[in-house]
Structure 1
Amino acid sequence: MSAAAGEVVTDLTVSGMTCAACVGRVERRLTRIDGVTATVNLVTGRARIVHPAGVAPADLVAAVGRAGYSAAPVPAGPVAAVPAEPDDGRLRPAVTAALALPVLAVSMLPGLQFPAWQWVCFLLAVPVVTWGAYGFHRRALHHLRQATATMDTLVSLGVLASFGWSGYALFLGGAGAVGMRMPFSLTADTGGAAHVYLEAAVGVPLFVLCGRSLEGRARRRGGSALRALAELGAKEVCVRRAGVERLVSVQELMPGTEFVVRPGEKVATDGVVVEGGSALDAGLLTGESVPVEVGPGDRVTGATVNVGGVLVVRATAVGADTRLARVTALVTEAQTGRARAQRVADAVAGGFVPCVLAVAAAVLGFWLGAGGDPQAAVTAAVAVLVVACPCALGLATPTALLAATGRGAELGVLVRGPEVLEGLRRIDTVVLDKTGTLTTGRMDLLAVTTAPGVDEAEVLRLAGAVEHGSEHPVGRAVAAAARLRGRAELPAVEGFAATAGLGVGGTVEGRRVRVVRPDRVSGLGGRLREALDRAGSDGRTAVVVELDGRAAAVLAVGDRVRPGSWRTVRRLRDLGLEPVLLTGDGPGPARAVASELGITAVHAAASPERKAEVVADLRAAGRCVAMVGDGVNDAVALASADLGVALAGGTDAAIGAAGLTLVRGDVESLVVAVRLARRTVATIRANLVWAFGYNAVLLPLAALGLLNPVLAAVAMSASSLLVVANSLRLRGWRPSRGVSRSVSRGVR
């Protein structure tokens, strides 16, 4: 949910919601305020509200209060994804169980029934019905004053009806006789004998309380990934001011402050290395398995772990501006929204409770009007009240999304909202940018072709020495390759000279060395000429190395294809997705990369406007398009596609326009995202089928008197637990074997 000009977004924590009907009630109350739109999530207990700037947060809190719930603005800083359970905690279920279990055992097992057992059970049931079920009664009464009904209304009425009929039977109906024995029945049929329903009066609150307690624990497990993200950052940092080091809280850091990171410590915030060299392990944040070497001038990310030497870092971003904070905000935003399927379920659940109350009243009236046993009529009506459960409907989608978005964050896949997962499943075409997406985005030495009799290692060592002082991307690529292959310091250069647009030269170990453009060298032939022609056709930049005035080698420099790009393209095809290459580079480089990766559809030399046109043409042809990019020139196309996918290492414009961000900066994570989306949607569908099917089957059975209220309470609690348990399976979901193992590492 995004805000337009003149609007602001406010997040509230809402307490007291127990079912999907509560969600609808809070949303309706909030949207009565002019200009306000709201999305409420049952699982996370959050409301995201877009409202005019003139509407104060206090007005929103008051509106939630009028709906019968309590609310408060979300506090600044990291917060838990799932709030604590409202009010029952552990004490109430434990005491309720201690009192209710003897009643259940004696009532349901005739062999345990002793003289006056029913009066002992009645005394044990009184605190359960009053204190144990107090939360249900209190909330039901509160909603009654609001002229509304919720799941608590059904539970409260079921408990009171069971207990009230039992009291009547004991005091006035003949069930209080000392020698009375009562057989247990799975249905509402009592055989005409005196009967009390104390097992239902204590069983319903017991099973509902235990079910909600287990739900709460499971839901908090589903939000563990977000809490783990929030806890990743360092708590204290050693700052350096005027050469003096001092340990302070990380909240005191300001941009420009220099701080020290010793081996084993976390980088406190995003910054640039000013002194030292080390390797940083970013596995907890990005899932990248290999530590990255950093030195002066390199950017570092907060929450990464220093596994090497001592670093001095200058802070460039703090607080909400850090990468970790943005990642946490994205996951929070995704878990706050609601999917389209959930909006349908919530709409159904909103009218569900009043319909159940009407059905229960109709069942009671029908049984009595047909001359049935009044005890059986009450039993059937109570069973209808208890078995009907909109909780499963309300939990079906948000629990799956909570688990999926948390697992996605662990795998380096951040979704901006639940609609992204839904949209990702429908994608059939993936448009891929080239530079920085399929390729590394930096110049690398790709090929060395030497003249006959010239040693490749020697010529590269000498060329790297003269290029060491160059600031040109080609020169840096040659120097880096020479250092890497030689694994030693490059020799010194005398008389270094650089001519803009032409090349560099100097004397190395007594030899005159020049690295120049091909058009500055005459008489090239043989394999050097072939190397130049090949580099030109592949869209690579070629330079010629001269030793003592003679052409010795041709160096081809270009943008290297990422190691995982070929696997990504192949796996996208395996998933039924068609890859399309869309780049601003010329036809030569585009064709070379497309040929290497096996992509047939290529659009080269595309301006930002042309990229958006290509995406629009594909959509007009009936394709569902995902655009993957990382640069400012991709932002328009990302925004115009059905789904925009950005690499985390890309520009802020690209990330802002995308609905999906690949934290590892590796396009291979896109395959993981597609598979996770498909599994999530399948889980949501299974949850909804169960939630609707449960009520469709058991409500008629309860109305026909074929379901005992105790069994109804067990079934009702089990339905919600099954939905939550099925969703939590996503927390353990792993990419298939074909996906790189490193992508399965992440927040732990």
Structure 2
Amino acid sequence: MNDPQTLTLGVTQLSCASCVGRAETVLRAVTGVVVADVNLAAETAKLQVSPDFAATDAVAALDTAGYPAALNTTRFTVENLSCASCVGRVERAVSDVPGVVSAAANLANDELTVVSIDAHVTPSITTAAAKAGYPVTLIADDHPAPDDTKAAEAATLKQMTVIAAMLTLPVFILEMGGHMIPAFHHWVMSTIGMGTSWTVQFVLTTIVLAWPGRQFFTKGIPALAKAAPDMNSLVALGSGAAWTFSTVALFAPAILPDGTQTVYFEAAAVIVTLILLGRYLEARAKGRTGDAIRKLVKLSPQTALVERDGTFTPTDVDSIITGDVIQTRPGERIAVDGTVTAGTSYVDESMITGEPVPVEKTTGAALVGGTINGNGALTYTATKVGADTTLAQIIRMVSDAQGAKLPIQDLVNRITLWFVPAVMAIACLTIIAWLVFGPSFSFALVAGVAVLIIACPCAMGLATPTSIMVGTGRAAELGVLFRRGTALQTLSQVQTVAFDKTGTLTKGRPELTDFETLNGFRHDDVLRLVASVEAQSEHPIAAAIVRAAKAHGLTLTPPDDFTAITGYGAKATVAGHEILVGADRLMAREQIAIDVPHTKFGEQGKSPLYAAIDGKLAAIIAVADPIKPSSKTAIAALHDLGLSVAMITGDNAATAQAIASQLNIDTVVPEVLPDGKVAAIQSVQQNGTQTAFVGDGINDAPALAASDVGIAIGTGTDIAIEAADVVLMSGDLRGVVNALHLSQKTMRNIKQNLFWAFGYNALLIPVAAGVFYPLFNLLLSPALAAGAMALSSVFVVTNALRLRWVNAPMTEDARS
């Protein structure tokens, strides 16, 4: 059975959380849809679909529900088109790709036009066409980019807001000016008269509702007719009721009870104007929630110097294939992932890893596409291109996380599904109550309209997804990738952080940490002779000694009569000197006395070795897997956050305890075999302790998956990264603290938004209904209700945008 495929499609005309619930309901009813999650802030729906899914069914379902899908049109050039049969074959092959709505090939110009619900199905289209025998090449899209689309939406809303405001201002002045300034009221009555004033208000308000406010009626009334009211329905009902009552009062006052003939044209006009203003401000703010993705996309250069027929030629990056040789000049961006074959330079990788210090790149070093080359020239071979590059994977991870739905959102969804009908019911009850107990019908109408307008659930629907989008985007800029958006919430609740040791807390390979010469021998002389012997061995400890000698600039001499003594060490003759290198038992076997204390190395978790020259003890050597410079400060910061820290390692208890003592780790689980790490995690999780596990190796993958939150070091293996919920792009453990900090900040921001959204409705719906009128003579006008409603949505999105400026608590300066 095939695993479900994930598709992401744009959904339009979503205006509140109720719309989200209805869009999800209709999508889940489509044949082949396994999971459907709609995101109001991103205006997307993430679908998991089975092979029997048809994109046309999803499009039709959304159209019927009143939330049309945002379709993507893509053009390709097609090879091998020679007749009408070819056209039919390529169209059928591409139409079978999940997510494709339609495919039309043109024999005259050898082009294929594909309409799809997901812009990311292009690779699948390319594969399907090639399998059918008609290779296709993507043509640069001349449709508006997402940035342009958002900008166009905001521009349209701005235009409509300005028009509405210009038409509303005279209405507001004519009606409210008389209430606020008696002299102005008398002037109007003595010049144009009340009838003319009302007529002018009627004309201007009607234009406002029919032109800028038309969208509320064309969307809200059909939704109401389908028994699925949304925010537009509430605005249409509120403003429409105020206009209808006022129109009757103007043209047929006899229909109304005596004393109720008054107009509320200004309320209807102001409602539309303020809500349009709120939507404009909201659209501008929402356009900035995707800044992180846009910045990442812009990191990739458009062209690169690629070797073609022996010369380096400017070539489109999309045309680069694995194995191509590319040249990067000083100051240019690296085009794709690759391996340096010639040249030396420093590369700024801060936009990928969050690390501010440029990294030296020489022959054999790995390069990441999108990073910036320094002052040197580099030649490299492409290893990953297109969707396989690190940058493309980061963009995909961030995009996936931004579309995630946190557990906290489930409560919001359950509430908002019945919220709009409940508000309409409250509005009806308000009108009935004031008709029975209130002073007039117009009073009851005002209260009912105010309830309808004040309670639009936009803010509730935006509270969570906007914070997720901005929070995960900011995290990516700091080198923290949330592969699964749900980790945002879970990580903020973690009580214990467990670390793998090798490669996570430590550098992952042995290094020479101590080299103490004895009996008058000179340091460099002994190191050169010992390294010359060890150069013949493949043991990691031997390699550490050789690296140290080369770092000192020492020239090694090939030894004579090299002998590896299993379990003891090695013996050789170098430059006429007999050299012994090995454990204390080798010295004992060769009757060389060790008359210096050496227990301190074992206590520090180091492996002591000894070197003898011509039968005399020459040096005591210590080799260890060094602790990363950032580990100690990172663990101290975790303790400051009130978290406990554990270490899970395969090392023996003594070595593990030595490392734990240096790092002030609370719990040590030593001598754990690779297949026992899951059980070790479960032991840490006893009593319901929420646990995050940090690892980097293949053998860490099961533990990363078993923990509440798996955090993979980005310098580790792909398997570990795939099993993790969070990826740290650098190997620096301060990223763990930064990830926790960002998750806590984001969750706090979400809770602030939800508190505001729910608190706003809980407080102001009763006020709008008039519960304070008997006590304080206070009644909320529909116009003020419209302003408050618009402000609530703008507040929520603006509050979420504050996450763009969250700083990492641990910076380069914080390292010890």
**Which whole-Å CA distance do the structure 2 matches of 1:491 and 1:540 have between them?**
27
Deviations 1:613-644 (A, max 9, x none): 11122323332111111111111111111111
Letter in 1 for 2:700: D
Pair 1:377 & 2:377 matched = no
1:666 aligns with 2:663: no
What whole-Å deviation, never above 9, does each CA across 1:373-416 have from its counterpart, x for those lacking one? 22222212211111112111111111121221111112221113
Deviation at 1:743, TM superposition (A): 8.9
When residues 224 and 375 of structure 1 are mapped into structure 2, their CA distance, relative to the original with a 3 A threshold, is: same
Q: Deviations over 1:530-583 (max 9, x none)?
A: 34x544555534444455664422332221101111112112122121111101
The within-5 A match list for 1:168-187 is 168-173=248-253
Q: What corresponds to 2:133 in structure 1?
A: none
Equivalent-residue separation in structure 2 for 1:458 and 1:221 (angstroms): 62
Aligned to 1:740: 811
Which of 1 and 2 has higher RCO (CA within 8 Å, sep 6+)?
1
**Shift of residue 11, structure 1, vs aligned partner:** 1.1
Asked whether the equivalents of residues 529 and 557 of structure 2 are also in contact (C-alpha less than 8 Å), the reply is no
1:101-154 CA distance string (max 9 Å, x none): 332233322245532443333332222110111111111133234331100001
Aligned counterpart, 1:43: 41
CA distance in 1, matches of 2:367, 2:332: 13
TM-score (norm 1): 0.90
- Give a deviation string over 1:269-314, Cα, whole Å, max 9, x none: 1111111121111111111121111211122211121113111111
- 1:97 corresponds in structure 2 to 165
Name which of structure 1's ranges 235-244 and 445-454 shifts more when overlaid on structure 2.
235-244
Partner of 1:178: none
* 1:21 partnered with 2:65: no
Alpha-carbon distance between aligned partners in 1 of 2:583 and 2:386, rounded to the nearest angstrom: 48
Please, which moves more after superposition, 430-439 or 220-229? 220-229
Q: 1:496 to 1:274 in 2, by over 3 A?
A: farther
Q: Secondary structure at the match of 1:530?
A: coil
Q: Assess, with a 3 A threshold, how the Cα gap between structure 1 residues 163 and 506 changes in structure 2: closer, same or farther.
A: farther
* C-alpha contact 1:466 1:496 (8 A) present in aligned 2: no
Say whether the 8 Å CA contact 2:528–2:556 is kept in structure 1: no
The question of whether the paired residues in 2 share the 8 Å contact of 1:39 and 1:47 is answered with: yes
Hey, what's the Cα distance between the residues in 2 that align with 1:479 and 1:399?
A: 54
Q: Deviations over 1:639-674 (max 9, x none)?
A: 111111111111122111111111222222111222
Q: Residue by residue, what CA displacement relative to the aligned partner does 1:336-379 show, whole Å, maximum 9, x if unpaired?
A: 11112222112211111112222222222333344632222221
SS in 2 for 1:122: helix
How is 1:129-528 mapped onto 2 (pairs within 5 angstroms)?
129-173=209-253, 192=259, 194-370=261-437, 372-461=439-528, 463-464=530-531, 472-484=539-551, 486=552, 489-491=553-555, 493-494=557-558, 502-503=569-570, 507=574, 519-521=585-587, 522-526=590-594
Q: Residue type of the partner of 1:74?
A: D
Q: Is the 8 A contact 1:608 1:637 kept in 2?
A: no
Q: Report if aligned partners of 2:698, 2:717 keep a CA contact under 8 Å in 1.
A: yes
Find the counterpart in structure 2 of residue 564 from structure 1: 630
| Secondary structure of the structure 2 residue equivalent to 1:418 | coil
Equivalent-residue separation in structure 2 for 1:698 and 1:391 (angstroms) = 15
In 2, are the aligned partners of 1:68 and 1:146 still within 8 Å (CA)? Answer: no
| CA–CA distance in structure 1, aligned partners of residues 787 and 319 of structure 2 | 53
What is the CA distance between 1:435 and its match in structure 2?
0.5
The Cα offsets for residues 17-61 of structure 1, whole Å up to 9 and x where unpaired, read as 000000000111111235522111100111111121221233222
Give the structure 1 partner of residue 794 of structure 2. Answer: 721
The whole-number CA distance in structure 2 between the counterparts of 1:82 and 1:629 is: 41
**1:682 Cα offset (Å):** 2.0
Asked if the contact 1:287–1:742 (Cα under 8 Å) also holds between the matched residues in 2, the reply is no
Secondary structure of 1:271's counterpart equals: strand
Which deviates the most, 87-96 or 717-726?
Answer: 87-96
Larger deviation: 429-438 or 56-65? 56-65
Structure 1 equivalent of residue 708 of structure 2: 642
Q: Name the counterpart of 1:589.
A: 655
Letter in 1 for 2:410: R
Separation (CA, whole Å) in 2 of partners of 1:624 and 1:665: 23
2:157 touches 2:279 (CA, 8 Å); kept in 1?
no
1:288, 1:742 within 8 Å by CA — same for their partners in 2?
no
> 1:684-723, aligned counterparts within 5 Å?
684-704=750-770, 706-723=779-796
Matched residue type, 2:696: D
One-letter amino acid of the structure 2 residue matched with residue 289 of structure 1? P
Task: Give the whole-Å Cα distance in 2 for the aligned partners of 1:208 and 1:496.
Answer: 88
Cα distance 1:274–1:54, how it changes in 2: closer, same or farther (>3 A)? same
**Could you give the per-residue CA deviations for residues 653-711 of structure 1, whole angstroms, max 9, x where no partner exists?**
21111111112222221112222222222222222122111111211121227111100
Give the aligned partner of residue 32 of structure 1. 29
Deviating more after overlay: 382-391 vs 95-104: 95-104
**Higher deviation after alignment, 614-623 or 123-132:** 614-623
* 1:180 corresponds to: none
Aligned residues with identical type, % of pairs? 37
- Contact 1:464–1:490 (8 Å) recurs in 2: no
Q: Does structure 1 conserve the Cα–Cα contact (< 8 Å) formed by 2:583 and 2:608? A: yes
Deviations, residues 463-483 of structure 1 (Å, cap 9, x unaligned): 456666865533442333334
Write the distance in 1 (CA, Å) between the matches of 2:424 and 2:158.
30
User: How far did 1:192 drift?
Assistant: 4.7
Q: Tell me whether 581-590 or 313-322 shows the greater mean CA deviation.
A: 581-590
Give the count of matched residue pairs.
Answer: 719
| Shift in Å, 1:68 | 1.4
Partner of 1:74: 118
1:69 Cα offset (Å): 0.9
- Matched position secondary structure for 2:689: coil
Distance in 1 of aligned mates of 2:164 and 2:176: 18
Distance 1:31 1:470, change over 3 A: same
Contact 2:497 2:645 in 1 (8 A): yes
**C-alpha separation in 1, matches of 2:148 and 2:813:** 28
Which residue of structure 2 aligns with residue 675 of structure 1?
Answer: 741
Question: Conserved in 2, the CA contact under 8 Å of 1:470 and 1:498?
Answer: no
- Indicate the SS of the match to 2:400: helix
Whole-angstrom distance in 1 between the partners of 2:593 and 2:442: 105
Q: Structure 1: which 4+ aligned runs deviate by more than 6 Å?
A: 510-514
| 2:6 aligned with 1:9 | yes
Verify the 8 A CA contact 2:274 2:787 in the aligned structure 1. yes
One-letter identity of the residue aligned with 1:493: T
Deviation string for 1:399-455 (max 9, x for gaps)?
121221111112221113332121112211111100111011122211111113223
Counterpart residue identity of residue 758, structure 2: F
Structure 2 letter corresponding to 1:206: T
Q: Which residue of 2 aligns with 1:607?
A: 673
- TM-score, reference length from structure 2: 0.83
- Secondary structure of residue in 1 paired with 2:688: coil
Rounded Cα–Cα distance in structure 2 between residues aligned with 1:21 and 1:255: 47
> Could you say if the C-alpha distance between residues 213 and 742 of structure 1 is closer, same or farther in structure 2, counting changes exceeding 3 Å?
farther
C-alpha contact (below 8 Å) 1:121/1:198 kept by paired residues: yes
User: Shift of the alpha carbon at 1:586?
Assistant: 2.6
Given residue 58 of structure 1, which amino acid in structure 2 is its aligned partner? T
| Structure 1 residue 512 displacement after superposition | 7.1
Between the aligned partners of 2:148 and 2:229, the Cα distance in structure 1 is 24
Cα separation, 2, equivalents of 1:376 and 1:471: 91
- Contact 2:306–2:324 (Cα < 8 Å) also in 1: yes
Where structure 1 has 5 or more consecutive residues not aligned to the other structure, the ranges are 176-189
